[in-house]
Amino acid sequence: MGEFSADWLALREPVDHRSRNTLLQNQVINFLHQRASVVTGLLHITDLGSGTGSNLRALAPHFGAMQCWTLVDYDTDLLRAARTTLLSWADGVLDSATPSSIRELGIFSGSVEPLVITKNMKTIAVQFRCANLLADYRSILNEPADLITAAAFFDLVAESWLTDFCTNLTKPLYTVLTYDGKETWGPPNTLDADVLRAFHAHQSTDKGFGVALGPRAAERLQSLLQGRGFTTACAPSPWGMDDHDRALIEQLALGTASAVREMGVLESNAIDQWEQARRQASTCEIGHIDLFAHPA
């Protein structure tokens, strides 16, 4: 269904993980440690646009001993891939009837079977919710959760959706790796500015929610939540890549060139030339923003 392949998400996962802003992440961890549910031992987390579960794999090692995750995505293939990937990532798998605090959760069982895994001495229950967030997010936001999270998701949404989302949000939100539009490729190429302008235009095309906010999403999210009385903090989480990330650099060059071709504003020879040069770029920095917000 979606345009995000499991292969693409796997390629970006190590760079995503090392790019997350750790100062902001520590703020989130400290905040959650002060919450009653952590004291009683069980943390509920809902991950919007989860893909194959990269956000869980980044965060779960930092959270408490007992966690219940709901991975929400509209792409069942990605949710199935999430289940398989989590099984290989886990240290062990528990019968979903154990332990008792997990049994009492009444885990949702949809088309992708829920899981209870162990990792680094933590017990992690995972349920997979196939839902289109264009329409279904209100009921999901109303379900019990100590934290709503998302990775590389909010740049896809439109202003009207985001406004309604913020109006309905009553829980802490931690969203990472929202594209902020800043790109620096090395060595410089005379076409960089034109390509980036056309790429930004493509980022604003409809990604399933109406005209996408693209690079403006994090700023709009922060401002809307502040308007609702949330306390917010933002921090940069740029991808910094060099020769060690050749496969990702190549895919980015191909993906950017393809998006720019779709916009029809640059000569195809120029795009081909940029793509060729950028596949061999020695460095590439792509800007992202992480945001943590909680009701004051």
Ligand X SMILES: C[S@@+](CC[C@H](N)C(=O)[O-])C[C@H]1O[C@@H](n2cnc3c(N)ncnc32)[C@H](O)[C@@H]1O
Residues in the site for ligand X, rule: CB under 6 A?
2, 4, 9, 16, 49-51, 54-55, 73-75, 78, 132-134, 151-153, 156, 208
Closer residue to ligand X, CB minimum distance, 16 or 146: 16
* Structural tokens at position 235: 């921090």
Distances (CA, A) of 207 to 11, 136, 141, 174, 275: 21, 16, 21, 21, 23
Closer residue to ligand X, CB minimum distance, 185 or 209: 209
Closer residue to ligand X, CB minimum distance, 49 or 181: 49
Cα gap 146→18, rounded to integer Å: 24
Q: Is the peptide bond before 99 cis (omega within 30 degrees of 0)?
A: yes
Closer residue to ligand X, CB minimum distance, 73 or 245: 73
Cα gap 138→140, rounded to integer Å: 5
Q: How far is the CB of 248 from ligand X (least distance, A)?
A: 13
Closer residue to ligand X, CB minimum distance, 4 or 31: 4
Q: How far is the CB of 15 from ligand X (least distance, A)?
A: 11
Closer residue to ligand X, CB minimum distance, 41 or 61: 61
Q: How far is the CB of 78 from ligand X (least distance, A)?
A: 5
**Strand duo 239-241 + 147-151: pairing:** unpaired
* Structural tokens at position 30: 């400290």
Q: How far is the CB of 142 from ligand X (least distance, A)?
A: 17
Q: How far is the CB of 176 from ligand X (least distance, A)?
A: 8
* Structural tokens at position 255: 């993906």
CA-closest candidate to residue 256, choices 230, 284, 290: 284
Q: How far is the CB of 97 from ligand X (least distance, A)?
A: 29
Q: Are 1 and 45 in contact (CB under 8 A)?
A: no
User: Quick one: 52 exposed, middle or buried, by C-beta within 10 A (0-12, 13-18, 19+)?
Assistant: buried
